[in-house]
Amino acid sequence: MSSQAVVRMSPQSNLGDIFVCMRFLGGMMEVGVIGLGSMGFAMASHLLAAGHEVTVYNRTEAKAHPLIEDGAMFSHDPAGAAQGDIVITMLSDDHAVESVVFGMHGSAGDGSDVIEGLLMHQSPNCIHVSMSTIGVQLVKRLEQGYAAQGKQFISAPVMGRPDVAERGELVVMASGNKSAIDKCQPVFDAIGRITHVVGDTPVQAATIKLAANFMLSSMIETMGEAFALVRKNGADHHKFLEIMAKDFFKSPIYEKYGAIIANEKFGGGAFTVKLQEKDTRLAVAAAIESQVPMPLLFAIENAFLSSIGQGKGDMDPCAIAQLAAENAGLR
Strand 170-175 with 158-159, pairing: antiparallel
Is residue 209 part of the annotated active site? The answer reads: yes
Contacts of 220 (CB under 8 A, 6+ apart): 257, 261, 317, 318, 320, 321
Distance CA 305, CA 309 (A): 6
CATH 3.40.50.1110 fits 15-200, yes or no: no
Cα separation, 132 vs 326, whole angstroms: 33
Residue 26, pLDDT score:
55
Q: What is the pLDDT of residue 23?
A: 53
Of the candidates 209, 232, 246, 256, the residue annotated as catalytic is: 209
CA angle 162, 78, 130 (to 5 degrees): 50
Give 180's contacts (C-beta < 8 A, 6+ positions apart).
127, 152, 154
Q: Give Cβ neighbours of residue 19 (< 8 Å, ≥ 6 apart).
A: none
Bridge partners (DSSP) of residue 31 are 54, 86
Give me the percent of the chain exceeding a pLDDT of 70: 89
CA separation (Å) from 76 to 16, 39, 68, 151?
25, 20, 13, 22
| Residue 246 confidence class, pLDDT cut points 50, 70, 90 | confident
Using alpha carbons, select from 39, 38, 37, 74 the residue that is nearest to residue 57. 74
Contact 145, 102 (CB under 8 A): yes
Q: How many residues does the chain have?
A: 331
Percent of the chain with pLDDT over 90: 80
Q: In the chain, which residues fall in CATH 3.40.50.720? A: 15-200
In the chain, list all ranges with CATH 1.10.1040.10. 208-327
Is the pLDDT confidence value at 149 over 90?
yes
Helix then strand then coil, in percent of the chain rounded to 5, is 55, 15, 30
Residue 17: predicted pLDDT = 44
Are 189 and 109 a contacting pair, CB within 8 Å? Answer: no
Q: Give the chain's radius of gyration (CA, Å).
A: 22
- For residue 210, which of 267, 159, 262 has the smallest C-alpha distance? 159
Looking at CATH, the fold of the domain delimited by 208-327 is given as: N-(1-d-carboxylethyl)-l-norvaline Dehydrogenase; domain 2 (1.10.1040)
- pLDDT digit string, tens, across residues 83-126: 999 999 999 999 999 999 998 754 444 444 556 789 999 999 99
Cα–Cα distance for residue pair 36/234, rounded to 1 Å: 46
